Structure 1
């Protein structure tokens, strides 16, 4: 474990709860660059120096359904920036983060990053009512997700929200280990888990939330006055194309590193 990015306690926490927050690990200069570049693609009525203009929803006549710069309702997803090399340096190739992912999935076993998902924003709700929380599991194959805050995210500020420990149930609620073909257990488990308390993973600029691909989660409602700004990336192990259609394994950690497989859950003897 010498010189490994994550401590034993951190690995135990992740294996038990399905998520882990790493504090202040990203390059401040790249964070500032990302915050500035976001405004190159801002909705027409939104100005960086006018916080009152940030409040959603985006007007119907200004909505954009394009993949590169999706703007609709309270969501603004600037994907067009995701392939730029400096964005890769910001998140997946960050030395601490890449090392943590290798520690979890195996040294030399990660698929090289070709880009990130982009900058995903949730606009402030202002006086608009919020809808009920909606727990879901992602539909595409990957192993380890990363949500990186490029600006501060206050409690209730639209942070990544997780249902702690739900990965250990949802993993077995699909016909395959990584694809999204739910079985008969998924719907009742989703209803039961979604009614349980969840964790608001708020944080500061430079914080990263790591999460298991089968954890129940959502981008929570933003009741703050600040735009929630996050960069997203999915780590994949190099054999994912061969394992993605396998049935869930008795040991849900079989595709992870030997270190992760050997770790016991909190409370286990």
Structure 2
């Protein structure tokens, strides 16, 4: 798996890796000052039992009396999704409008063809499991329409630390398991394929603060279980091409890359 350095554009090898496997890890490309700001701001919305200077308080699950169903700061079990912060301009600058990330996105979808970002999904956290048992891994495919996603680690994520887990190459199967190219309308093949692929090998995309995982919309994935003592903290953004509203209901194309850039369409699979 190639780990790209801080440069743009992607090489032909990196494009081929993404096209073949459905994901690519970019190393150390985000602004450290903005990462530190995000880590600090997360604690504005922490459950009252969790304290930034006390790692022992980070172990989940979140106490039931501190759970929240509010979308802007959803907290339940071992998951904490702080979305309220997502539309602040510096968060947009940190990930989608980072010059390297934006250039890579245009390389994939076409120069001048990206939807301008108004926000990111927010900071998504997985708490340490501590002594609690983990369940078996299992993949899913996201329900909302976009072309590819970016998962940015704002703090270090060790192996087994709740990193973004992918099933390499599964996008080339799952793309055809839906009635439309980008919406969530699975056909009869989706569930059997999900069970088969989910039981197969996967990759734990761990990394350091400032690393970004690019992933195809239809790749099978999950947020891994966190067996370390550190909170998994990630910022998520979904890239869309500017014609997505008219193409999202199209049936899957014979060439699943037909509405991507000419450059990636011309790249051969590995």
Question: Among 109, 124, 128, which residue is 2:128 paired with?
Answer: 124
Question: Structure 1 residues 4 and 151 mapped into 2: Cα distance closer, same or farther (>3 Å)?
Answer: closer
Determine the structure 1 residue equivalent to 2:221: 217
Are 1:208 and 2:204 an aligned pair?
no
Q: Which aligned segments of 4 or more residues in structure 1 are displaced greater than 4 angstroms? A: none
Matched, 1:95 2:74: no
Secondary structure in structure 1 of the residue aligned to 2:141: coil
Aligned pair count reads 264
Q: Is the 8 A contact 2:8 2:100 kept in 1?
A: no
Aligned equivalents of 1:134, 1:23: Cα separation in 2: 26
- TM-score where L is the length of structure 2: 0.97
Q: Does 1:187 align with 2:191?
A: yes
Q: Which consecutive residues of structure 2, in runs of 5 or more, have no partner in the other structure?
A: 1-6
1:249 and 2:253 are equivalent in the alignment: yes
The whole-number CA distance in structure 1 between the counterparts of 2:69 and 2:218 is 27
Deviation for aligned residue 1:5: 2.0
Deviations 1:34-91 (A, max 9, x none): 0000001101100000000000000111111100000100000000000000000000
Alpha-carbon distance between aligned partners in 2 of 1:63 and 1:186, rounded to the nearest angstrom: 33
**2:252 counterpart SS class:** coil
For residues 66 and 31 of structure 2, what CA distance do their matches in structure 1 show?
33
| Secondary structure, aligned partner of 1:101 | helix
| Cα distance in 2 between the residues matched to 1:63 and 1:36 | 21
Aligned residue runs from structure 1 range 253-264, under 5 A: 253-264=257-268
Partner of 2:4: none
TM-score by length of structure 1 reads 0.97
Q: Indicate which of 93, 108, 112 corresponds to 2:116.
A: 112
Q: Which residue of 136, 143, 149 maps to 2:147?
A: 143
Say which SS state the counterpart of residue 81 (structure 1) adopts.
helix
